[in-house]
Amino acid sequence: MSTRPFALTSKSSGHVSRFPAERLGDAELVQAAARGDADAISVIWDRYAALVRGVLRGALGPDLVVEDLLQEVFIALVKGAKGIHEGSALRGYLVGVAVRLAALELRRRKVRRWVMLSPTGELPDTAVLPRDTEGRQALQALYRVLDQLGSRRRLAFVLRHVQGMGLVEVAAALKVSESTARRELARARTHVARSGQREPALHAYIERFRTEES
């Protein structure tokens, strides 16, 4: 279920119809959002909230902070829509903001571990994990492995292998060259393949990370 981020009122006289949403192009939505049109921003939320949530959840795991950061991504859109000059850039903009916020949260977690605010550095209130035992164990094992990676390498892995993004999109989201993204992905896959061998719950998932192309 998708909950929109905040109450919005349209600032423009132009009104973007929300029916049917699939007929509205990203370029049209961006232009309307830049004018402060609440309906346009709601349509963007409907279209991209699941993707952004997936990026955040993939990077951070099942944590309630994901929903807070999801809201922050769309608040950033409201503030920055005027700087999006092409509709095709909307998806990349949202993913890029999500990546930056996830990287900041990963750094905060390291600080929390260092100052021992909690034994693991994780927030005590966590979202519900998958109900099936095998899926829950595999997810927990994956995040134990990913916790050993630096934030950029971890995010590269999540964007490519959890969200299924192409190399060009991964590089753009991380604001690095394609060669750097390819190198980070290769090292992340190697780490997951090696460290995952010590996690029985991941054995069934390891082979595809060894063979999947960049």
Residues 79, 10 within the same domain: yes
pLDDT tens across 40-70, in order? 889 999 999 999 999 999 888 878 899 999 9
DSSP category for residue 27: H
What b/e string do you get for 8-31 counting C-beta neighbours within 10 Å, with b at 16 or more?
A: bebeeeeebeeeeeeebebeebbb
CB 138 within 8 A of CB 205: yes
Does the pTM surpass 0.85? The reply is no
Domain count, the chain: 2
Residues 122, 135 within the same domain: no
Residues 89, 143 within the same domain: no
Q: What is the pLDDT of residue 134?
A: 63
Residues 1, 88 within the same domain: yes
Last residue of some domain: 111, 127, 143? Answer: 127
Q: What is the pLDDT of residue 115?
A: 42
Residues 98, 198 within the same domain: no
Nearest to 70 by CA among 155, 160, 3: 3
Low-confidence stretches of the chain (pLDDT beneath 70): 1-22, 110-136, 204, 206-214
Classify 13 in phi/psi space as left (phi over 0), alpha (psi -120 to 50) or beta: alpha
Residues 93, 139 within the same domain: no
Q: What is the pLDDT of residue 132?
A: 57
Q: Residue 92, CB half-sphere, CA atoms under 13 Å: how many?
A: 17
Last residue of some domain: 127, 155, 174? Answer: 127
Residues 64, 120 within the same domain: yes
The Cα 25–Cα 88 span in angstroms is 9
Q: What is the pLDDT of residue 124?
A: 44
Q: What is the pLDDT of residue 4?
A: 62
Domain containing 166 — which CATH number? 1.10.10.10
